[in-house]
Amino acid sequence: MNSLPLKENLKKYTGIDACPIRNIISRFSGKWSMLILCVLAENEATRFNEIGKAIPDISPKVLTETLKNLEAAGLLSRRLYAEVPPRVEYSLTDLGKSLMPLLGALIEWAIENRHSMSPEEKEI
């Protein structure tokens, strides 16, 4: 990981459009993306219904859409088995796995700072 201070990294880019964080945020900024990545990080291969059970508030339609977006971003892979009935498993790619330490740090930050959030934010 780059150890340059934030200001040094930001000086490399002129204008907000050139900042690489913009692309990263667009890859997984959906409401459910980070939760899905966390579920996949817990297991080597996870089926659609298992993900849905782990995140009960997500609808099947939104889960399908978010999985497609994460696959297109290269963060997860989808494996279809030629069986009857068909079986599909999702797992993190190497790129997705490389994101997990950063996501873990964000989770730790959220836990440590939960007390400063509004009551509405705490419920989310």
Query: Is 4 contained in some domain?
Result: no
Position 47 in a domain:
yes
Residue 89 in domain: yes
- Residue 11 within any structural domain of the chain: no
Q: Sheet of 46-47: strands edge to edge?
A: 46-47, 87-92, 76-81
The reply to whether 2 falls in a domain is no
- Give the number of residues written for the chain: 124
Domain membership of residue 87 (yes or no) is yes
Number of domains making up the chain: 1
Q: pLDDT tens, 80-119?
A: 999 998 899 999 999 999 999 999 998 899 888 888 876 6
Write the pLDDT tens digit of every residue in 11-26. Answer: 666 666 666 777 777 7
> The domain containing residue 56 runs over which residues?
23-123
Q: From CA 38, how far away is CA 43, in angstroms rounded?
A: 9
**CATH no. for residue 42?**
1.10.10.10
